[in-house]
Structure 1
């Protein structure tokens, strides 16, 4: 039973992290926040995009994500830098 409760708490936390990352990226000037996909699993955030981003946009997206409470690590291999 405890495992189910822990999983539910983690899924709520992951959902919160994903929502917060998306919101912070949308408000940041110079980042195509609407084009960056965000997925979170157990505090690990994966960033990806179908469009190319600049190196500085990629670095900024990673920085924003790392500053969010609950984020354990950031995987940005899915962001294709120009």
Structure 2
């Protein structure tokens, strides 16, 4: 029973993190927030995009994600750099 509660709590946290990262990316000037996909699993945020982003945009997106409470780490392998 405890595992079910913990996993439901984690899912809610992951959903909140994903939503918060997306919102922060969208409001940040200079980052193509609408082109960056965000997925979160157990506090690990994965950023990816179908369009190329600059190295500075990639770094900014990673920094924004890392600043969100509850984020353990950020994976940016899926962000295509120009």
Partner SS for 1:74? strand
For structure 2, which runs of at least 5 residues remain unmatched after alignment? Answer: none
Match in the other structure for 2:25: 25
Runs of 4+ displaced beyond 3 Å: none
Cα RMSD between the aligned structures? 0.3
- The size of the alignment, in residue pairs, is 82
Question: Is 1:41 aligned with 2:41?
Answer: yes
Displacement of 1:22:
0.1
TM-score by length of 2: 0.99
* Alpha-carbon separation, structure 1, partners of 2:74 and 2:33: 16
1:45-64 matched pairs, under 5 angstroms: 45-64=45-64
TM-score by length of 1: 0.99
Displacement of 1:8:
0.2
Displacement of 1:69:
0.1
Question: Is 1:71 aligned with 2:71?
Answer: yes
For structure 1, which runs of at least 5 residues remain unmatched after alignment? Answer: none
Displacement of 1:68:
0.3
Displacement of 1:40:
0.1
